[in-house]
Structure 1
Amino acid sequence: MASERRKDTALLAARAGRYREYAPPPALRRHFSRFWSHALHDGPPAQVAIVPDGYCDLLWIGGRLAVAGPDRTAAFPALRPGTTVIGARFAPGAAAPWLKTPLSALVGCSVPLADIGWKDTAEFEARLGNCPDPTDAMALFARLLEEAARDADEPARDAAVIFAAADGGRPASGLLGRLGMSERQLRRRCHHHFGYGAKTLERIRRFQRFLDLCRRAGTMPLARLALEAGFADQAHMTREVGDLSSLTPAVIFDQLGMPKRPD
């Protein structure tokens, strides 16, 4: 019963406040795909669903730096109203070398950066803690990561190719010859760089295509949405979307089609 209520009442994170994305500075573009900020609205707390996207993020939240590992299914964190989160989304293949940690160890977890043994954590937290304005904190966050990038390992190029295939609706297994690896090596690389296997990554990126279509589909019927996103049919979409988000396609379509609340 609780699970069914969650499907009707949970709010996608993008609807739970003001979410903005920014291009990373040029020096960081090989390591990060996006910088972002999320200011939650004041008022009664909502049940917020953070849905899987195949990425790993660095966060500045509550005075601490943390790593949000990749998710297999939606997370429902307890977030205080009025909280502002600043994040940097790793580029595909960049997180594991930067963190020196396989992402399979971080699936479904939000871990303090200090617990991973990142040597600059205490210094960076102290500097960010002296910067209460969110806009200034975002600028400082970027500068600190530029400093850290000087010692960071290069992203894995084969991981970026695997991600691009999944993102475009092509099976990663079709890349085996091009990448010069066996199925076992592909599975090992995917678990290292994404936290799970290629098929799970493909499911998650197809789900993200569905979300993108919901944002711009207007009055497109759900059956057409399913085919455009790459599902076999509407029933397949309903199962997959429910498994990954704990929401129904109709609820997601309604939420993403709502006019945004004024800032």
Structure 2
Amino acid sequence: MALYNLHKKGWFVLAIYYRYSPASLAAYVAFFWFYEGEKPAHTMERRLPDGSVSLVINLHEDRTRLYNREHPERFCEYSGSVLSGAHSTFLLLDTGCLASVMGVVFRPGGALPFLSFPLHEIANTVISLDTLWGEDLRELLLDAETYQQRFERLERFLLARLKETKPVHPAVPYAVRKMQQEYGALPIAGLVEDLGMSQTRFVQIFKEAIGIAPKQFCRIVRFQKTLHLLTKGRSVPLSRLALECGYFDQAHFIHDFRNFAALSPSDYLTRRGEYRNHVALPV
């Protein structure tokens, strides 16, 4: 079992973070993760979009709270185990749910063979797992004595729900690879021509497997590239960064960044923590 302790001292004190990539699910799952530590001082944080579908299991308490982006005083509560669809904007998390938590990050299209519905039905939404699969995954994981055992139980749980008769259309992983290779700067019209199918058909199968439209996914891939470059530690003028990431100009770059993060790049660098897709909000 390949386990990595990737944590450095950040928002949590005495915290641990492990990642595990199960070989049996390599075609579908990017990695499992486990996090445990003290609650941070801030009560909310933004989880920035990366185009992925994920499972999140709160082991500390049987609830997950998400705040309304436009009205943070309002919130929705779910069970402690949720499936989060692909998002095209940030989630506003209650950090009280982050003291002890496990998760699964699916590869693009990797969640589809485990579900009975197309992924676009849960785009930009979160659903409780008890309404999806019935069995209480959270209790199954809590009964394990170590995080290694929890990873093993989670792996068996997913294998039992894998529907190999529901494969993803081969055009989707091909398209995702091309989009990632070009960091989102890929004309969809040219891609569709390479695939030899109509744009309408391509958009349909892409949304079924990924959850969001191809152009939106490309924009998120490009946004993630900008986060990577911003957090590498080198000082680069925003105008140059915009060109490196395929934006028309600095204004286009900042506008797109604000759409995804509701922050300017400079505000993001001031507020971000150790993990680039998590941004603390003031207490």
Superposed pair shares fold, TM > 0.5: yes
Q: In the TM superposition, what whole-angstrom CA distance separates every residue of 1:105-142 from its partner, at most 9, and x where no partner exists?
A: 112211112323x3xx4153432131365454234323
Q: Tell me the residue number matched to 2:25.
A: 28
Letter in 2 for 1:28: L
The answer (yes or no) to whether the contact 1:162–1:172 under 8 Å persists in 2 is: no
**Deviations 1:18-40, CA, capped at 9 Å, x for gaps:** 68563521110101122223446
Is contact 1:32-1:88 (8 Å) kept?
yes
- Residues of 1 paired with 2:242 and 2:37: CA distance? 31
Q: Say if 2:83 and 2:128, in contact at 8 Å, map to a contact too.
A: yes
Distance 1:97 1:172, change over 3 A: farther
Contact persistence 1:37–1:87 (CA under 8 A): yes
- Please list every run of 5 or more consecutive structure 2 residues that lacks an aligned counterpart in the other structure: 1-9, 63-79, 277-283
> Partners in 1 of 2:189 and 2:29 — Cα distance?
25
Aligned-pair Cα RMSD in Å = 2.8
Cross-structure match for 1:137: 150
Aligned to 2:226: 210
Which structure has the highest helix share of the two? 1
Which structure is higher in strand share? 2
Look up the match of 1:11.
Answer: none
> Is 1:83 aligned to 2:80, yes or no?
no
| Aligned residue in 1 for 2:255 | 239
Gaps of 5+ in 1: 1-14
Distance apart, 1:41 and its partner CA: 4.1
Residue identity opposite 2:88 in structure 1: R
Structure 2 CA distance for partners of 1:43 and 1:195, relative to 1, 3 Å: closer
1:32-71 aligned at under 5 Å gives the runs 32-39=29-36, 41-61=38-58, 62-63=61-62, 64-71=80-87
Secondary structure, in 3 states, of the residue corresponding to 1:238? helix
Q: Distance in 1 between matches of 2:150 and 2:201?
A: 40
Which of the residues 113, 116, 119 maps onto 1:100?
A: 116
SS in structure 1 of the partner of residue 194 of structure 2: helix
Partner of 2:178: 165
CA distance in 2, matches of 1:208, 1:21: 22
Partner of 1:249: 265
Identity of aligned residues (%): 23
Describe the SS at the equivalent of 1:164: helix
1:109 aligns with 2:122: no
AA in 2 matched with 1:149: L
Quote the Cα distance in structure 2 between the aligned partners of 1:198 and 1:88: 23
Instruction: Report the residue type matching 2:86 in the other structure.
Output: P
Task: Sort the Cα spacing of 1:152 and 1:57 in 2 relative to 1 into closer, same or farther, 3 A.
Answer: farther
**Using a 3 Å threshold, how does the CA distance of structure 1 residues 214 and 255 change in structure 2: closer, same or farther?**
farther
Say whether the 8 Å CA contact 2:119–2:210 is kept in structure 1: yes
CA distance in 1, matches of 2:87, 2:36: 21
SS in 2 for 1:149: coil
Residues 19, 70 of structure 1: alpha-carbon distance in 2 compared, 3 angstrom cutoff: farther
| Of 43-52 and 139-148, the range deviating more from structure 2 | 139-148
Q: Secondary structure at the match of 2:95?
A: coil
